[in-house]
Structure 1
Amino acid sequence: MTARTTDAADDLAAGPEAVIAASPIAAELRAELERRWSAGTDHIGDIARYALLAPGKMLRPLMLVATAESVGGDRAAVLPAALSVEYLHVASLVHDDIIDGDELRRGRPSVPAKFGVADAIVTGDALILGLFDTLAECGLPAEAVLGAVRAVAAAGVDLCRGQALEAELLRDPACPPERYRRMAALKTGALFRAACRSGAILGGGTAEQVEAATRFAERVGAAFQMRDDLLPYLADSSVTGKSADSDAGNMRPTFPVIVGHRMAGPQDRAVLVDALSGTRSPAESFALLREVLERLGAVEHAAEQAEDEIRRAHAELDALPVAEGTRLLAAVADLAIHRDR
């Protein structure tokens, strides 16, 4: 066996969370956030601190650093870029919670629930604007930093386009899978793509390596969204940190619902349409969806498709030369479909 194959076998036995936990990158990122966002600076700073330092694995900034290292880049030089990606991610979560009216995020009150909608909007905006100043701190050639800025800015625009597209899909369990995948690539995949593409650019990767890292991220992003849609059917809300019936209450056709609609006969399809009609309570809607999807086997079928995305993502890592970085990226990919929150 090659060293990489041996590492992969060891990681499979240990589990992706153990591999990620063994890396010092997340701890370094969190320590830097603690330093930059000290308590008691001002009201918006305190809200940003609350949002940024919530429980979580900081997967997107971790992926940026790991990708940079996988092509031979320096961790310290790209750390500001990693923080900037987290700023954009957290800002998007704050704004999502406003749009969806969610009161829980990562097992505690969401920012709008705790601080009010007005302050939540302003804090999200402040994080988005501040990310570019942070990204400019990277002590790397201007051309590389500019490439990273473009990647992150494009991701932010795509995220907004994905949010708008998601709104167009409401109440439509007959949504074509290709349309759902387009939404997921924009809304969720964009930040994974920004992290890995920026990391490869800032790390000095070749054009081929940058594109391989981009394709890897797009696969992981798709699988991550699929798994996110599956969580209400696989884990209790006390574990996920989010209400199980939020998507049903918002009339959102998630991935298992779309898969189930294609598997269903006319009677079950009518039930799925009814569940997303907005005429029932969120709890009633979710109960209807759950009964149909579990009976049809749609949950398992959707999970298999997410796993296939990750198998394809792993294949892209062969183009990245530094094993330690790719080992961490592989663990993040595996975690995307095995997480419970």
Structure 2
Amino acid sequence: MTTPEAREEAVLEAVGQRRELVNEAIPEELPIQRPERLYEASRYLLDAGGKRLRPTVLLTTAEALADVEPLSREYREFPTLDGDRIDAMAAAVSVEVIQSFTLIHDDIMDDDDLRRGVPAVHREYDLETAILAGDTLYSKAFEIMLETGAEPDRAVDALEVLATTCTKICEGQSLDVDFEQRTDVTPEEYLEMIEQKTAVLYAASAALPAILQGADEETIDALYGYGLDIGRAFQIHDDVLDLTVPSEKLGKQRGSDLVEEKQTLITVHARERGVDVEELVDTEDVDAVTEAEIDDAVGELERVGSIEYAADRARELVDQGKNRLEVLPDNEARELLCDIADYLIERGY
């Protein structure tokens, strides 16, 4: 049986290989042009790095569907299921551009200073330029998706998925903002929010190659479900990591979700178990919160089983998502998609 450590190493290598190819394609699809400041700002976070997990899911799903050796084909001329060719890399860049657009606007809304180890776009440039950069990326994603060369009906379906995904991301963000004013959020409501805010872009990444390559509806639906499942698990695992990983390894204050009074599956579950979550740490002076206070809060959340509940829910979603991959040929790329799913809830420890 593959150990989590060996699986993580294999996944990171596979993601790294595809990330390099995506990084090479980004300047081709989104060149710096006039007005230079706008396009420099638009490219800023894309050039700053990122794991490129969503493009990796898209490219790996394309490999699995075509039943080719991973990384053995030129993504710019990728085989469809009926012998045609598409530009799978254009689709991969498109979803990463959408991801970058959401990050820019998230940082503006949260007034964050840093992203990916560099100043946020609105800090590096200015608020007006950052808003325009995010809007530019949003529209450019659709232009890039049109460059896949897919059959017209498939191209339209892909654009519809991309548009619906963007709408749902905005709806999810709105729900997240609304939840900040509530203490009665249910687990079901929280799962709905992270599905829209986070998971739908993973779902689109998994389903888009099936649409562009001409797969049947059953396959498209199964792959979309895989993306929703692993995307929700990804966010829930982030909730767990925030409380269980030391600050120096997290790169931010451990327990920041508690300090900032953010709703997570853990806190929602704890409230249902009678915990007064708002009293776990003193949020009057967030800079004064100590590691000892966080330790006590985590101890209380462990006592009522909330952290275990979230971790178990993430594992259930990953297992459910992996089962959906049975619609794919039994090949190396399908195994990689399973390993990516496992990695999303094993990373960070």
TM-score (norm 1): 0.86
Answer yes or no: is 1:129 the counterpart of 2:139. yes
Cα contact 2:244–2:254 (8 A) shared by 1: no
- The C-alpha deviation readout for 1:256-294, integer Å capped at 9, x for no partner, is 11122223x3xxx23x13469964536649837445324
Answer yes or no: is 1:216 the counterpart of 2:210. no
Answer yes or no: is 1:64 the counterpart of 2:58. yes
Cα contact 1:189–1:218 (8 A) shared by 2: yes
Pick from 138, 141, 159: which aligns with 2:151?
141
Cα contact 1:249–1:282 (8 A) shared by 2: no
Answer yes or no: is 1:85 the counterpart of 2:90. no
Amino acid at match of 1:21: E
Aligned to 1:179: 189
SS at match of 1:205: coil
- The C-alpha deviation readout for 1:169-222, integer Å capped at 9, x for no partner, is 114344110000110111011111111111211122221111110111110011
Aligned to 1:19: 11
Aligned to 2:167: 157
Pick from 303, 328, 332: which aligns with 2:336?
328
Cα contact 2:243–2:255 (8 A) shared by 1: no
Amino acid at match of 2:14: A
Amino acid at match of 1:329: L
Residue 13 of structure 1 and its aligned partner are, at CA, apart by 6.4
Residue 17 of structure 1 and its aligned partner are, at CA, apart by 4.1
CA distance in 2, matches of 1:283, 1:83: 42
Cα contact 2:259–2:282 (8 A) shared by 1: no
Answer yes or no: is 1:50 the counterpart of 2:44. yes
Change (3 A) 1:115 1:294: farther
Aligned residues: 328
Cα contact 1:88–1:128 (8 A) shared by 2: yes
Aligned to 2:206: 196
Cα contact 1:216–1:316 (8 A) shared by 2: yes
Greater shift, 110-119 or 43-52, is seen at 110-119
Aligned to 2:83: none
Change (3 A) 1:283 1:229: farther
TM-score (norm 2): 0.84
- The C-alpha deviation readout for 1:44-73, integer Å capped at 9, x for no partner, is 222222201233220111111112222218
Aligned to 2:314: 306
Amino acid at match of 1:302: A
Amino acid at match of 1:32: A
SS at match of 1:292: helix
| Higher relative contact order, chain-length normalized (CA < 8 Å, sep 6+) | 1
Aligned to 1:3: none
Gaps of 5+ in 2: 68-72, 77-86
Residue 98 of structure 1 and its aligned partner are, at CA, apart by 1.2
SS at match of 1:311: helix
Cα contact 1:84–1:132 (8 A) shared by 2: yes
CA distance in 2, matches of 1:157, 1:304: 30
Change (3 A) 1:11 1:90: farther
Cα contact 2:236–2:314 (8 A) shared by 1: yes
Amino acid at match of 1:53: D
